[in-house]
């Protein structure tokens, strides 16, 4: 489908490659706008049936990567292969409508004058197949009862399911989803995550989703590709990203985490809240990654921490604690509201912590090995 939502004959077949061939294979992809390096030397593979999330802060290059994949932008360098065939490269550029991709846009971009069934059938070129595919999509997105309604007669969640069904109907090699939940309110967004994942999995689709919301990426995707300043920083399954972030950026962007400065002997790190276990930590000045669920905190008139604020969520709460060296740590506590801002507290960290070199600090104190 092209940017205007029109379909055309595809050159990239849906299933023309063996199962171990990546559906998408990107190598050395670069795109610059003036002085802004939006995408730099990006390498990425997406395997058949995989749901991959491109995650990163605003301006990190996620949308540009998606647009390069779709063929809405020409790369400055690098290649993009779809099903093993080059679609963007030094001498090749396959137009968007010939890439056999389905796109789900942020605003869904449904045709307002067409019914649900007509929207679903729009991209299916083969007339003989159209009715069958529309029926299959109506089942898949559970909107059989609404097939004759037009988009304005649907809820936001239903509109999103139609947008997804419309993208899937031509049986594309790849589905691209650009911040697909940004138009939905918070409660609906959470419900739709599972729905969208279920629909994509039931269709056996390969998909790339762009999001700046780490929770969305972790709950939805099989693998998450974290981007920062145009570069791909780490690609892994959600649990590995969370447990073994490659750098402090990933550690603090994927899940909640605070960095405490300290001095490491390779096994333990001396910090303002005491000695923390960090097996395998680099020696010398480090930043220790401390996740709120690791931090225990209790009221103590002689404690070194001061409660700065509390975010109360009902089922739990996030307590922010100021420390004497100016650093901060957060602790995730149950719902009992026994701390208030200004309370003096003690802290302890449970389990092992991760540590990264802290190159900016120069003065280095020593820590004796135990």
CA separation for the pair 86, 119 (Å, rounded): 30
Q: Which is nearer to ligand ATP, 141 or 177 (CB)?
A: 177
CA atoms of 227 and 208, how far apart (whole Å): 14
Contacting residue, 5, 59, 266, 322, with ligand ATP by CB under 6 A: 59
CB of 31 to ligand ATP, least distance (A): 8
Minimum gap (Å) between residue 239 Cβ and ligand ATP = 24
The single residue among 38, 163, 218, 260 that binds ligand ATP, judged by CB under 6 A, is 38
CA distance 85 to 223: 23
Q: Does 33 bind ligand ATP (CB under 6 A)?
A: yes
Pattern of binders to ligand ATP over 193-212, x per CB under 6 A?
Answer: -------------------x
Half-sphere exposure in the Cβ direction for 7 (13 Å, CA): 23
Helix (H, G, I), strand (E, B), or coil: what is residue 93?
A: strand
The token pair at 63 is 């949308």
**Distance of CA 202 to CAs 139, 156, 195, 196, 281, Å?**
11, 21, 10, 10, 43
> CA torsion angle for 11, 17, 19, 23 (degrees, to 10)?
-40
Q: Which residues contact 107 (CB under 8 A, 6 or more apart)?
A: 183
Q: By CB under 6 A, is residue 81 in contact with ligand ATP?
A: no
Q: Residues 9, 18, 20, 58: which binds ligand ATP (CB under 6 A)?
A: 58
Could you tell me how many residues of this chain bind ligand ATP (CB under 6 A)?
12
Q: CA–CA separation, 303 vs 345, rounded Å?
A: 5
Single out the residue of 48, 56, 245, 292 in contact with ligand ATP (rule: CB under 6 A).
56
- Do strands 207-211 and 344-349 pair parallel, antiparallel, or not at all (unpaired)? unpaired
Does residue 64 belong to the site contacting ligand ATP (CB under 6 A)?
yes
| Shortest spacing between CB 59 and ligand ATP, in angstroms | 4
User: What is the rounded end-to-end Cα distance, in angstroms, of the chain?
Assistant: 63
Closest approach, Cβ 273 to ligand ATP, in A, equals 35
Regarding 248 and contact with ligand ATP (CB under 6 A), the answer is no
CA distance linking residue 68 with residue 1, whole number of Å: 14
Contact between 130 and ligand ATP (CB under 6 A)?
no
Q: Which of 22, 48, 61, 245 binds ligand ATP (CB under 6 A)?
A: 61
Q: With binding defined as CB under 6 A, does residue 35 bind ligand ATP?
A: no
What are phi and psi for residue 85, nearest 5 degrees?
A: -105, 135
36 touching ligand ATP, by CB under 6 A: yes
Closest separation between CB of residue 88 and ligand ATP, Å?
16
Structure-block tokens of residue 293: 């669920």
Distance of closest approach, residue 240 Cβ to ligand ATP, in angstroms: 22
Asked if 354 and 286 count as a contact pair (C-beta separation under 8 A), the reply is: no
Q: Which residues contact ligand ATP (rule: CB under 6 A)?
A: 33, 36, 38, 56, 58-64, 212
């Amino acid at each position: 489908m092209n940017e205007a939502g029109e379909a055309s004959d595809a050159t990239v077949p849906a299933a023309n490659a063996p199962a171990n061939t990546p559906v998408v294979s990107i190598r050395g992809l670069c795109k610059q706008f003036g002085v802004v390096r939006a995408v730099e030397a990006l390498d990425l593979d997406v395997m058949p049936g995989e749901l991959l999330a491109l995650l990163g802060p605003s301006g990190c290059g996620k949308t540009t990567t998606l647009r390069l994949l779709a063929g809405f932008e020409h790369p400055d360098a690098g290649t993009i292969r779809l099903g093993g065939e080059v679609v963007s490269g030094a001498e090749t550029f396959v137009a968007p409508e010939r890439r056999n991709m389905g796109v789900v846009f942020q605003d869904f971009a449904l045709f307002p004058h067409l019914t649900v069934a007509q929207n679903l059938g729009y991209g299916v070129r083969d007339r003989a197949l159209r009715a069958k595919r529309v029926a299959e999509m109506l089942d898949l997105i559970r909107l059989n009862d609404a097939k004759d309604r037009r988009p304005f007669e649907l809820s936001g969640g239903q509109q999103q399911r139609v947008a997804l069904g419309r993208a899937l109907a031509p049986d594309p090699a790849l589905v691209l989803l650009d911040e697909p939940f940004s138009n939905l309110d918070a409660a609906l967004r959470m419900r739709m995550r599972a729905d969208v994942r279920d629909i994509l999995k039931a269709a056996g689709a390969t998909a790339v989703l762009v999001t700046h919301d780490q929770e969305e990426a972790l709950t939805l995707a099989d693998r998450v590709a974290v981007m920062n300043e145009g570069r791909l920083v780490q690609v892994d399954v959600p649990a590995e990203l969370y447990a073994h972030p490659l750098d402090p950026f990933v550690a603090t962007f994927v899940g909640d985490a605070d960095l405490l400065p300290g001095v490491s002997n390779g096994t333990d790190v001396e910090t303002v809240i005491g000695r923390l276990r960090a097996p395998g930590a680099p020696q010398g000045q480090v930043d220790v990654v401390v996740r709120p669920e690791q931090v225990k905190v209790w009221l103590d008139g002689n404690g070194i921490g001061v409660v700065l604020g509390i975010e109360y969520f009902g089922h739990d709460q996030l307590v922010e604690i100021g420390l004497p060296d100016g650093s901060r740590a957060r602790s995730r506590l149950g719902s009992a509201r026994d701390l208030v801002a200004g309370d003096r507290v003690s802290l302890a960290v449970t389990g092992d912590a991760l540590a990264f070199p802290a190159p900016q600090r120069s003065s280095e104190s020593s820590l004796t090995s135990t």
